[in-house]
Structure 1
Amino acid sequence: MASFRFAAAAVRQFSTSAARNGEIVQAPIQVFGIEGRYAHALYSAAVKQKKLDAVDKDMQTVQKLIKSDTKFAEFLHSPLLKRSAKTESLSALLKKQGFTDISVNFFETLGENGRLAETTGIVEAFLKITSAEKGEVMCKVTTAQKLDDRQLKDVKAALQMFLTKNQVLNLELQVDPELIGGMTVSIGDKHVDMSMATKYKMYSDLVKETLA
């Protein structure tokens, strides 16, 4: 109950009209922690104002900015800037980018509460909720080298076997040369490590134990 009261307060802070009745719209999945509380508050406000798709697009844009723009990410985490100046600068940037009022107000609330450094986690939590809303299943595949078209097709076909009829695969691809070969796969709450690096370590540990 405490987490929902916290979320309701957050909703009222950045969207008075969305919290007139003081109720929180239940999300399709629960995300916990501080990030989850803010994410649920934003989801509830967006649904009440019928702007979920637009806010979802805003949060995807923020996520891309954090990953592609080092200066933007550093700005969010910087403890050197005054809270008010940081909030005003971010608000102006988002308005210039055409963000919805609800998204702008939300980030202003994060700034006022000193939570901008936690933007990455909050945005990821929100996108998990909207992904579930759309029937998507998040999947992250990490390989030592970039997959070619045929390999990617085979991987997608294999992953489809884990989905039900109404689910949609939301695939994220990453490259990590330290895997040496093979891949790691995280889909839903499942994780499989098929990397050569892990196999080498397992064999190395086995040899050490045998010779000890």
Structure 2
Amino acid sequence: MASHLIKRSFSVSTISHAGQVIKVPIQVHGIEGRYASALYTAAHRSNKLDQVEKDLKNVRDVYQSNAKFKDFVLDPTLKAVKKKAAVDAIGSKLGLAKESVNFLGVLAENGRLNKLESVVSSFESIMRAHRGELFVQITSAEPLSNSHQQQISEALGKLTKSGQKLTITYAVKPSIVGGLVVTIGDKYVDLSIASRIKKYTDVLQTAV
């Protein structure tokens, strides 16, 4: 049902536009990726990519700063028709582009407003690829030293293509215990100790 509505309202992967085929620059996985990709093609068709990106950031800011709006988005008891009417009103108040309002309406109709933050993140990943940026997130169990960050930056710099901008962000997540979790564009590499422990545990449970 959800994929049907996405296809009806947006093109999922490509759209014929002025004799050209619009392709999403990277593949983003999951339901969030499907919605973000559909929005990218729709916004590209209307030449509203920058505006839509700005709109989504504004909506996310409201979501993160306004407790009532966040509760509304996450409330599973509200009917889709009420949520759609509400996001239409919010879109008008914020001065969002038609493409942005329509997209939020599709999320509401499909009961996917609770995916708002992850959809916005997926759309941002697509837009970074659209601009020729290589976005890398490094997650470690504890903060990395400046020397370690420098080594990582130099190593990743060798992977970038000519003219490609490298952006690296660092996050700390103690639950991974040790090692690193590396996200490069739409690729994900889990080098954490926690993942190794889980693999060993799964093997032991299978053997018992």
User: Counterparts of 1:6-85 in structure 2 under 5 Å?
Assistant: 7-11=6-10, 25-31=22-28, 34-63=31-60, 72-85=69-82
TM-score, normalisation: structure 2: 0.70
Rg comparison, structure with higher value: 1
Percent identity of the aligned residues?
35
For the structure 1 residues 175 and 128, does the alpha-carbon distance in structure 2 shift closer, same or farther, using more than 3 Å as the test?
A: same
CA contact (8 A) 1:8 1:24 kept: no
Structure-1 residue corresponding to 2:92: 95
Instruction: Assess if the C-alpha contact under 8 Å between 1:11 and 1:19 holds in 2.
Output: no
Question: Are the counterparts in 1 of residues 134 and 166 from structure 2 also a CA contact under 8 Å?
Answer: yes
Look up the match of 2:152. 155
Instruction: Count the aligned residue pairs.
Output: 195
Counterpart among 144, 161, 177 of residue 174 in structure 2 = 177
Q: Please report the RMSD computed on the Cα atoms of aligned residues, expressed in angstroms.
A: 3.8
Determine if contact 2:63/2:70 at 8 Å carries over to the other structure: yes
Select which of 117, 130, 133 maps to 2:130. Answer: 133
Matches of 1:185 and 1:115 in 2, distance apart? 27
Residue 119 in structure 1 maps to residue 127 in structure 2 = no
Gap runs ≥5 in structure 1: 13-17
Pick closer, same or farther for the CA change 1:70–1:197 going to 2, 3 Å: farther
| Structure (1 or 2) with the greater strand fraction | 2
Change (3 A) 1:198 1:27: closer
Q: Are the equivalent residues in 2 in contact too, given 1:27–1:44 (CA < 8 A)? A: yes
Please state how far the C-alpha of 1:142 moved relative to its aligned partner: 0.8
Structure 1 pair 98/176, CA: closer, same or farther in 2 (3 Å)? same
Q: 1:137 to 1:20 in 2, by over 3 A?
A: closer
Structure 1: which amino acid aligns with 2:152?
A: V
Q: 1:7 to 1:111 in 2, by over 3 A?
A: closer
Aligned to 2:189: 191
Alignment-derived partner of residue 15 in structure 1: none
**152 and 99 in structure 1: CA distance in 2 versus 1, 3 angstrom threshold:** farther
Q: Give CA deviations for 1:79-109 in whole Å, capped at 9, x if unaligned.
A: 1112222223333334333432221121122
Shift of 1:35: 3.6
Alignment deviations for residues 24-77 of structure 1 (CA, whole Å, 9 cap, x no partner): 732223445544443233212211221111112223444555566666444323
Q: For residue 170 of structure 1, give the secondary structure of its aligned residue in structure 2.
A: strand
Shift of 1:122: 3.2
Alpha-carbon offset, residue 141 of structure 1:
0.7
In structure 2, relative to structure 1, the CA distance for the partners of 1:160 and 1:61 (3 Å cut) is: farther
**Could you tell me the TM-score, scaled by structure 1's length?**
0.69
